[in-house]
Chain A
Amino acid sequence: MKQFKFLLFMLPLLLLAGIACAQKKEITGKVVDQATGMPLSGVSVVAGKDKAGTTTKEDGTFTISVGANIKNLTFSSVSYGTQTVSIGAKTSFNVTLAAAATTEGEVVVIGYGTQKRSNVSGAVSKYKNDRIDETPVSRLDQALQGKIAGVNVQNISAEAGAEPKISIRGTNSINAGAAPLVVVDGQITPDGLAFINPSDVESVEVLKDAASAAIYGSRGSSGVILITTKKGVVDKPKYNFKYAIGFKNPYKLYDVMTTKEYVKLLFDEMANKRTDSTVNQATNTVSNGDRASYIIEDQLRGATTDWQHQSIREGIFQNLSLSVSGGSKGVKYFISTGYQGDEGMMNKSKYQKLNLRIKTDIDISKRLKLSINLNPSYANKESPSQNFTNFWRMPGWLPVVHNEATAALARTNPLQSNIKAGDYAHQRHFSNLTYSGLMPDGSFWTGTGVSPGGSAQQNPRSDVDRSDITSSEYRLQAAVELNINLAKGLNFKTLASGYVNYSKGLSFQERNYNTDGTVNTGVFTNNSNIYLLSENTLNYTKTIRDHDITALFGVTTERTDIVREQTTGLDFPSDDIRTLSSAAQIDKSRSTGTKTIIGLNSYLGRITYAYKSKYLFSVSERADGSSYFGPGNKWGSFPSVSVGWAAGKEKLLSNIKWLTNLKFRGSYGATGNNRITENAWIDLLYGSNYPYGGSSGSSNPGLITSSSILSNPDITWERTFQTNFGVDLSLFKNRIGITLDVYNSKTEKLLLQQAIMGFTGLQQYWNNLGSLRNKGFEIELNTKNIQRKNFKWTTSANLSANKTKIIELGSEAYLLNQGERAEVYRNQVGRPLVEYLGFQTDGVWLSQAQIDAARAAGLTSTLSAVFTPGGLKLVDTNGDNKIDNNDRVVLGNPNPDFIWGLTNNVGYKGFELSFFLQGSHGGKLVNGDPNYNESGRSIRTYNTNRWVSAGFPGDGKTPVTRGTGFNWMLTDYVIEDASYWSLREVNLSYSLNAKMIKRIRLNGARVYLSAQNLYFHSASNYRSLNPEGRFKNGPYSSVLIDGYQRGSFPIPRTFLIGVDLNF
């Protein structure tokens, strides 16, 4: 009935249109892309000064009727800009449009709204790439590495689906979280970069300066990453199908010696040492253990084990996405599904992700718009239980599983009489046995009670095969948004959004998994995170002649429920039954649980003003009230101000032909960090049960205060104040675009633990004490080098540098922190955030004679093992002839001097080649691997270069063994350059031309080859496999103990082949 009414209403209009047409002429034509010659659909065609017109069809054609007095046709599209042609007498046009030469019309998402690029006065970077989903990585954050100036993404682990470390403009917190805030379509989603389907991403904006991020108030101090997903446009349904498959393998592995090679080397060294008069010939021999290992590999097995390949495999990488988008006048939709399967290159490393997104925009009435966004997703992940070090440090003589000969040997120990061929072999199986066999020099040797290997190290393959570390995540992001147009220019938006993340994990170790007699253990984890958001904003835009005014006022309420539970079950009847109820015991000491509810109420406002897009001005304010803080400290205020001056639009400069645009920007703002330790403001009672009687006695519940740290009711936000200056410059009709930003930020009120007087009974209390400074600059450069019809070449580059300095650490002048090998990390006021403190070395002591000479000259030391021939030679840096802790100097810091990315896109007809280079320079790392590889004696370069005797000192730099001489980990021997550059991504694609596409009845078809890490260049003194890798467990989770590497898996190299079909 309603429709009928509508039609009736429309009838007169149609008639009117018919009358009007009579006076017009029909113009037809076709619009194609200048570079590719492909037809362009959806380009708006408007006659003269009319407001309405038509749009081009799928095949790029259009038909428009124009009045006789109309002289021009205007073609416009968001990504192609505007072009006007005069009509004259022609009735048919073929128009070629070049991809937007201007960024003027570009719209930038700035948080609670959008802004024209030309009016932006803060530091906002926009990254838009339709092919971001073709990057051979499984997470969006990995694909963003090196793409945006000021955003440092570091892939600290090569495991499938591993989270990279991201920082925007440095580190500005010590005890609170320092990761940027991630916002997906207006909803705060902390793990948004992990689960989002890269195919769904329309654009990624990064709010870098405090003035831009201040609208996110108490959570903006580490920068904000805004992800906007695609939505439908009024058009026929458009389908897109993409599928890519490929494989992953390691870029580089260690050159490891076999045991045979190694023992042969030892025999050669022994023969050499016989000719050296400084060597005590009584001890010049090859150890029994090494001789026994030679017999096992050479005579019992006749083979060696390549332990690296016991960890590494060829992983299959798959990426599938299917989407449909379109819409009629009233309803627009975007529906997509995606699957990503990333089989890591390590055994038992896997990441799989399934995504569905339904996004609809409905015009309920002229004034009422409803948007619904649903995104359920599922991910599962599997991780190997052993790191890479534990593989390659295994000696080659050790078999993965026993063969008949080795099992028979192991059975000669009556305690191991049950070992049979096929069982996992451990080094301890070969201990205290009798060995006899031929040696490399042809002699026959017999030894009793010989142990070729240690007893502690487990067979890593047995460990990985018999333990499973799995987790599944179920996520749902759902949002309903109602937009009401209250008056002209005045819109009210109410958004109700929820994000639920439920994850469960099971880490299961099978019975006897690495040692006989260990019970099977299952650690069950259940975590749920629920984020609820109600956001109400009023948006006002008004243009009065040359004055552009926008105003925003909003109220938001958020609630976050976090529940974490972990239960550990022991002794399951079977390894195949992994339910908690079947566990014979629950290990209470490894069972924990927490529940937290966080509330946040906020008011926010922003006013922007632009005069002729020339003088720009913006102020914003956000007030946040959080349940994280105590009464009286709940509310914080985060104001900002920014100004801009488009000098290029001034008369004086607008005459300069080559200068297209010049804009100066300046901003100042305050942001906060509320991710502090929970409940630092209130003293709590903790469980302290009192057991009565003996083992059968009962336990009485008790509660007591915490014994280590006192609360502080005045705890408040960490606050960052940042000043930013920027210049946007574009030259030669936007052929060259340059953006430069410099910033200086100070974070104060850092949450630290401060020592307190003993009479309180406690040692420390929480206080807002510390202060950090971040300074740096960022350059973005975009050029269009060649813009021909058939040949196109564009370049975009970015470079950024940041320095983090400690301004204040409360009452402390410096902090010295130790890592797992007692290596020292210093945090000193007035110095970079983290510095490695250790001894400088000058090669090794070449001989006892050299040591004697140095001692005779007066050199002494209070430290142990300083004077050992073949050991590291420490430098007496302060020149007092005494080597002690005062000689320790700064050996470097983990922060890179600068990072960069460079993308080149070259298009020739249907071919397109894009290659992306990325690098990081000047950072240092502490390499924990030498501590394992060089004592395990497996690395060829080490074994051939090391000191053997005074007569055979090797290269004079490589010490004899780890156990001899001064501890390597306290010296610059393990400090290495973490700089690298790499050919990160290469994408070569071919698009079928219009004729071919028509024949196969598609709208577009492309095939592409994509590769990652084709070339990776690391510094010459870097000894391990992945300079990006970092160890983040235990003490290293603190930002004050940074830059340590151990057990990193090699860099993956990925090759993909894919198709991209539009129909």
Chain B
Amino acid sequence: MKNLITLFFVSMFILTSCKKNIDRLPLNNVAIENYYKNTAEVQIGLNGCYAGLRPTLIEEWQMTELRSDIAIMGSQGSSSVPNR
């Protein structure tokens, strides 16, 4: 009888000490606060920044050269005269 009560309280104690169970970080992605801790991680972070700049370089011509007179417009399969 007494053993059972002790068992109960022990089990309660085990459970309450399970704080770890609810202190979890996401597993799909790295959390910002745990990153950028060493050179390699900063390097990877920088790669990400460059990747973010790529679309700008890819699309920049749409804003500049496309609008100038050096561009010829026309779409594949279209029978209309280009650059009209």
Known interface pairs A555-B12, A703-B45; A685-B52 also in contact (CB < 8 Å): no
Is A878 located at the chain interface by the 8 A CB criterion?
A: no
Q: Which of B29, B35, B47 contacts A690 (CB 8 A)?
A: B47
| CB 8 Å contact bits of B15-53 with A (1 = contact, 0 = none) | 110111111111111111101000000001111111110
B51 adjacent to A536 (CB under 8 Å): no
Tell me, in angstroms, the Cα distance from A555 to B13 when the chains sit together: 10
Give chain A residues whose Cβ lies under 8 Å from the Cβ of B61.
none
B21 adjacent to A601 (CB under 8 Å): yes
- Of all chain B residues, which has the CB nearest A561? B27
B4 adjacent to A601 (CB under 8 Å): no
Is A678 located at the chain interface by the 8 A CB criterion?
A: yes
Is A967 located at the chain interface by the 8 A CB criterion?
A: no
Tell me, in angstroms, the Cα distance from A631 to B23 when the chains sit together: 8
Q: Which of B8, B22, B25, B47 contacts A702 (CB 8 A)?
A: B47
Is A1035 located at the chain interface by the 8 A CB criterion?
A: no
Is A599 located at the chain interface by the 8 A CB criterion?
A: yes
Known interface pairs A601-B15, A601-B22, A685-B30; A703-B4 also in contact (CB < 8 Å): no
Give chain A residues whose Cβ lies under 8 Å from the Cβ of B44.
701-703
B29 adjacent to A688 (CB under 8 Å): no
Is A626 located at the chain interface by the 8 A CB criterion?
A: yes
Instruction: Please count how many residues in chain A sit with their CB below 8 Å of the partner chain's CB atoms.
Output: 40
Tell me, in angstroms, the Cα distance from A756 to B59 when the chains sit together: 27
Tell me, in angstroms, the Cα distance from A598 to B44 when the chains sit together: 28
Is A286 located at the chain interface by the 8 A CB criterion?
A: no
Q: How far is the CB of A555 from chain B (nearest CB, A)?
A: 5
Q: How far is the CB of B35 from chain A (nearest CB, A)?
A: 6
Tell me, in angstroms, the Cα distance from A596 to B29 when the chains sit together: 10
Q: Kindly count the residue-residue contacts between A and B in the assembled complex, taking CB atoms under 8 Å apart.
A: 113
B51 adjacent to A688 (CB under 8 Å): yes
B22 adjacent to A701 (CB under 8 Å): no
Is B63 located at the chain interface by the 8 A CB criterion?
A: no
Tell me, in angstroms, the Cα distance from A626 to B23 when the chains sit together: 8
Tell me, in angstroms, the Cα distance from A1042 to B51 when the chains sit together: 38
Tell me, in angstroms, the Cα distance from A596 to B27 when the chains sit together: 6
Is A787 located at the chain interface by the 8 A CB criterion?
A: no
Give chain B residues whose Cβ lies under 8 Å from the Cβ of A594.
28
Tell me, in angstroms, the Cα distance from A492 to B11 when the chains sit together: 12
Is A486 located at the chain interface by the 8 A CB criterion?
A: yes
Tell me, in angstroms, the Cα distance from A596 to B28 when the chains sit together: 7
- Of all chain A residues, which has the CB nearest B28? A594
Known interface pairs A684-B26, A686-B29, A703-B44; A536-B12 also in contact (CB < 8 Å): yes
| CB 8 Å contact bits of B40-79 with A (1 = contact, 0 = none) | 0000111111111010000000000000000000000000
Is B81 located at the chain interface by the 8 A CB criterion?
A: no
Tell me, in angstroms, the Cα distance from A601 to B20 when the chains sit together: 10
Tell me, in angstroms, the Cα distance from A600 to B24 when the chains sit together: 11
Tell me, in angstroms, the Cα distance from A536 to B23 when the chains sit together: 21
Interface residues of A in 492-528 (CB under 8 A from B): 492, 494
Give chain A residues whose Cβ lies under 8 Å from the Cβ of B52.
688, 704, 707
Size category, B interface: 35 or more
Tell me, in angstroms, the Cα distance from A494 to B31 when the chains sit together: 36
Known interface pairs A688-B51, A701-B47, A703-B30; A599-B21 also in contact (CB < 8 Å): yes
Tell me, in angstroms, the Cα distance from A594 to B28 when the chains sit together: 6
Give chain A residues whose Cβ lies under 8 Å from the Cβ of B12.
536, 555
Is A484 located at the chain interface by the 8 A CB criterion?
A: yes
Interface residues of A in 621-648 (CB under 8 A from B): 625-627, 631, 634
Is A815 located at the chain interface by the 8 A CB criterion?
A: no
Q: How far is the CB of B44 from chain A (nearest CB, A)?
A: 5
Give chain B residues whose Cβ lies under 8 Å from the Cβ of A589.
none
B48 adjacent to A555 (CB under 8 Å): no
A627 adjacent to B23 (CB under 8 Å): yes
Known interface pairs A538-B8, A557-B18, A559-B21; A700-B47 also in contact (CB < 8 Å): yes
Give chain A residues whose Cβ lies under 8 Å from the Cβ of B24.
597-599, 627
B51 adjacent to A555 (CB under 8 Å): no
- Of all chain A residues, which has the CB nearest B25? A682
- Of all chain B residues, which has the CB nearest A534? B15
Give chain A residues whose Cβ lies under 8 Å from the Cβ of B32.
682-685, 705
Tell me, in angstroms, the Cα distance from A360 to B84 when the chains sit together: 84
Give chain A residues whose Cβ lies under 8 Å from the Cβ of B45.
685, 702-704
Q: How far is the CB of A1055 from chain B (nearest CB, A)?
A: 49
Q: How far is the CB of A237 from chain B (nearest CB, A)?
A: 33
A688 adjacent to B47 (CB under 8 Å): yes
Is A689 located at the chain interface by the 8 A CB criterion?
A: yes
- Of all chain A residues, which has the CB nearest B53? A690
- Of all chain B residues, which has the CB nearest A683? B32
A685 adjacent to B29 (CB under 8 Å): yes
Give chain A residues whose Cβ lies under 8 Å from the Cβ of B18.
557, 599, 601
Tell me, in angstroms, the Cα distance from A737 to B30 when the chains sit together: 58
Q: How far is the CB of B10 from chain A (nearest CB, A)?
A: 11
27 contacting pairs across A/B (C-beta < 8 A): A486-B1, A536-B11, A555-B12, A555-B16, A557-B21, A595-B28, A596-B27, A596-B28, A599-B18, A599-B21, A599-B24, A600-B22, A601-B15, A601-B16, A601-B22, A678-B26, A679-B26, A682-B33, A685-B31, A685-B35, A688-B52, A702-B48, A703-B44, A703-B45, A703-B47, A704-B48, A704-B49
B residues engaging A (CB < 8 A)?
1, 4-5, 8, 11-12, 15-16, 18-33, 35, 44-52, 54
Q: 8 other contacts beyond A486-B5, A626-B22, with CB at 8 A cut-off?
A: A492-B8, A555-B12, A599-B18, A634-B23, A679-B29, A684-B28, A701-B44, A702-B50
A residues engaging B (CB < 8 A)?
484, 486, 492, 494, 534, 536, 538, 555, 557, 559, 594-601, 625-627, 631, 634, 678-679, 682-686, 688-690, 700-705, 707
For the complex of A and B, the 9 pairs showing the least CB-CB separation, nearest first, are A702-B47, A702-B48, A704-B48, A599-B21, A684-B29, A627-B24, A688-B48, A690-B51, A688-B51
